Amino acid sequence: MPVAFVCRTRSTMSPADLFNLSRSIDAHVGSMTKSRERAIAGTTTGLISEGEHVTWQAWHLGVRFRMTSRITHMEAPASFTDQQVRGPFKYLRHTHEFRPDGSGTLMVDTVEFAAPFGALGRLVEKLVLARYMENLIRERNEFLVAQAPATPDPGR
């Protein structure tokens, strides 16, 4: 049974701006400097679109990984979904939603994954991977939200 979690992040950006920033390969690389993540095949720069794939190489938990993801569904600017097609997980699906919220956007990330290796994999999912993956998404989202243009001070 896969592990699943939801991460909610508020931003002052419009849904369309945050949607595009979230599918930017360049912004993703910027958000993953700790893991030295880089795009090495497929769409390696700019905005990724439905049907396109990207192969990532990164260091996570002290191990070098390669993972290929494909954008399997997109409804601009409301949502898109990426799924692992090759890589370290038995299954990985990440749905990104962008909901208008007052003068900004509520970004909702739903992540579902399963580790390989049967019962041992389920133990690793619960003890290590669930928390690690959730922190990774939170850090990524904090990076994206920090990219919002500064609003002018109304007192000036």
Q: Is the pTM of this model over 0.85?
A: yes
The kind and range of the H/E element at 84 are strand 79-86
Residues 6+ apart with CB under 8 A from 58: 32, 35, 36, 37, 38, 64, 65, 67
Summarize pLDDT for 109-127 with one digit per residue, the tens. 999 998 877 665 676 677 7
In a domain, 99, yes or no: yes
In a domain, 71, yes or no: yes
The total number of structural domains in the chain stands at: 1
Mean pLDDT to the nearest integer, 120-139:
83
Q: Output the domain CATH number for residue 131.
A: 3.30.530.20
Q: pLDDT value at position 7? A: 97
In a domain, 30, yes or no: yes
Note whether 3 and 114 are within 8 A (CB): yes
- pLDDT tier at 149, thresholds 50, 70, 90: confident
Alpha helices in 33-150 (DSSP H): 118-124, 130-145
Q: pLDDT value at position 116? A: 79
In a domain, 67, yes or no: yes
Decide which of 113 and 128 is more confident: 113
In a domain, 113, yes or no: yes
Q: pLDDT value at position 154? A: 53
What percent of the chain stands above pLDDT 70? 90
In a domain, 156, yes or no: no
Q: Dig out the tokens for 64 from the structure.
A: 């070098």
In a domain, 154, yes or no: no
In a domain, 55, yes or no: yes
- pLDDT tier at 156, thresholds 50, 70, 90: very low
Mean pLDDT, all residues of the chain: 91
Q: What range does the domain containing 136 cover?
A: 3-145
Mean pLDDT to the nearest integer, 23-46:
97
Summarize pLDDT for 55-89 with one digit per residue, the tens. 999 999 888 999 999 999 999 999 999 999 999 99
Bond preceding residue 100 cis, omega within 30 of 0: no
The pLDDT of residue 41 is above 50: yes
Decide which of 43 and 154 is more confident: 43
